[in-house]
A = this chain, B = another copy of it.
Amino acid sequence: MNGPFTDLSRVEINKLYNLLGVHIYNFNKNQEILPTIKSENIIGIILDGHAQIINIEYNGNEIIIDNLFKDNVFGTNISLTNNENYQIISKTDTQVLVIDYDKLLNPINLKFSYFNVFLKNLFDIINTKFKEKNERIRILEKKQIRDKLLEYFEMQHKKSRQRNIYLPFSLKDLADYIAVNRSAMFRELKHLKDENLININNRKITLLYK
């Protein structure tokens, strides 16, 4: 397992600290990490210890989204879905390194700046994919089809801010995406419709509770 400073000398690491405006924070067990270091756009790296990303749902339920151990990364661009109510809590004494994401890939310091723009783009692409995976996991973690559907609706609604959801794929594909049986999913959609929580015709779903 590689860490952020693999293959780098002490001198080079110090250069990096200056170049990137790195900060290191220390936390005791069970402290909130995020408010302390929060800024617009950061990458955090756990240098030592153990922390958890926890999501607080509308109903008060707390869900462990991710466990962060040594050399794991987190941040507003990584592993966190947008617009969420989350906390990062240290579970042991934890040391965290924080980098300004924009500074990280800001080419003004560097020759071959076009190359670093390219690297930044690659990062963005991977991060986008990363967020998609996390979203899907959030849905798959739900045990009931109803909850999976509602979680999916919730995510779509947050993105579009609209009551109407236009499925980007077929209902069959939706069933695959949330990993349930197609007929069973449809049955549940009907239940939601019968309870006047949604309207559905073909690929247009209207959230009546919003």
State the A residues within 8 Å of B (CB): 1-9, 12, 15-16, 19, 43, 45, 64, 71-73, 78-79, 109-112, 114-115, 117-119, 121-130, 133-134, 136-137, 140-143, 176, 179-181
Contact = CB atoms under 8 A, between A and B. Distances in A.
A125 B181 contact: no
Nearest to A181: B143
Contacts of A140: 137, 140-141, 179
Given A121-B5, A125-B73, A179 B141 contact: yes
A130 B126 contact: yes
A180 B144 CA distance: 10
A177 to B, nearest CB: 10
A142 to B, nearest CB: 8
Nearest to A78: B126
Nearest to A141: B179
A113 B110 CA distance: 10
Contacts of A8: 114, 117-118, 121
Contacts of A5: 118, 121
23 contacts: A2-B124, A2-B125, A3-B125, A4-B118, A5-B121, A6-B121, A6-B124, A12-B114, A12-B117, A73-B129, A78-B126, A111-B112, A122-B123, A123-B126, A126-B126, A126-B130, A129-B130, A130-B133, A133-B134, A133-B137, A136-B137, A140-B141, A143-B179
Nearest to A124: B2
Contacts of A12: 114, 117
A114 B16 contact: yes
A119 B129 CA distance: 18
A47 to B, nearest CB: 12
